[in-house]
Structure 1
Amino acid sequence: MARNNRGIIQEFVEFISRGNVMDLAVGVIIGGAFTSVVNALVSTIIQPLIAAIGGSPDVKGLAVVLNGQTIDFGAFISAVISFLITAVAVFAIVKAVNTMNDLKEMAIKKAGLASMIEKEQAPAPRTCPYCKQEIADDATRCPHCTSKLAGYENAIEAR
């Protein structure tokens, strides 16, 4: 039984240490912090600006009392406005990150083209005339078929 528990614990540790789980955790934490920033923006800047223009910062007239319970549509509308502001801000951030990634990919492609041009200018790899396998430039025997290549010297065979 202890062996089975150790396996479960090890699997859990592997699951938690995966990159995408950590990324998700960071995203949730940052999302919570970002939501509080947006709520502060709405309650301390946008609603006072609406009140300064002459409107009511809260949508208070939209409440219905039903069987002693208050259904507050104004609070719901304020939450929807906060959500829309959050969604627009997240969209702008994601769009900026995607644009950066696209620029990075284009730079990599340009670098890849440069390396392809360098490869085209590089001499073709040396191949064995017998088995047609690629061999090192300084080889005197083919490692694939053991044929003697140009430049092969053996003092014992020379006698």
Structure 2
Amino acid sequence: MNLQRFDAFLGKLLRGISIACFIALFFLLFINVIARTFQLAGFAWFDEIVQGLFAWMVFSGAAALWREREHFAVDWLEVTLGQSQYAIMLRGLISLLCLCFLLAMTVYGYDLFLRSRALTPILQLPTSLFYSVIPLSGLVMVLYTLRDINVAFTDLLSHKRK
């Protein structure tokens, strides 16, 4: 499998996880509202599942958006600078700052994952299952940030040759 096919697969996987979690959350919340409204039943395990689904939806969604550069960004200065070498340097600097944050998130997320020994009270699921998405999505975002740094560096070199 070549790198482009893996990249496309990873993008579909990340989006698929986020969408599946969102759909599951929607149905769980809908069922819970109906059950509470008509006093049919209470779901003691509900909060545990919602917490896990929400974590997976948010972090895999963030990685999917990061991969495709569709996340929110304030790019006024970059747009103002146009295609100049300063705009390219700014993109590189921003990517380096993002890399620092993402490395910290990934390392501390991995530490949290390793130290989680607790089980959820009702379903007895390991909380590390919920926390595992933090270093996984962090690693994906780190790799795509390295791509962005490489692109900025390559663009800067080709801009200086002109």
**Same structural fold, with TM-score higher than 0.5 when normalized by the shorter chain:** no
TM-score if structure 2 supplies the norm length?
Answer: 0.27
Of Structure 1 and Structure 2, which has the larger fraction of its residues in strand?
Answer: 1
TM-score if structure 1 supplies the norm length?
Answer: 0.27
Q: Which has the larger radius of gyration?
A: 1
Of Structure 1 and Structure 2, which has the larger fraction of its residues in helix?
Answer: 2
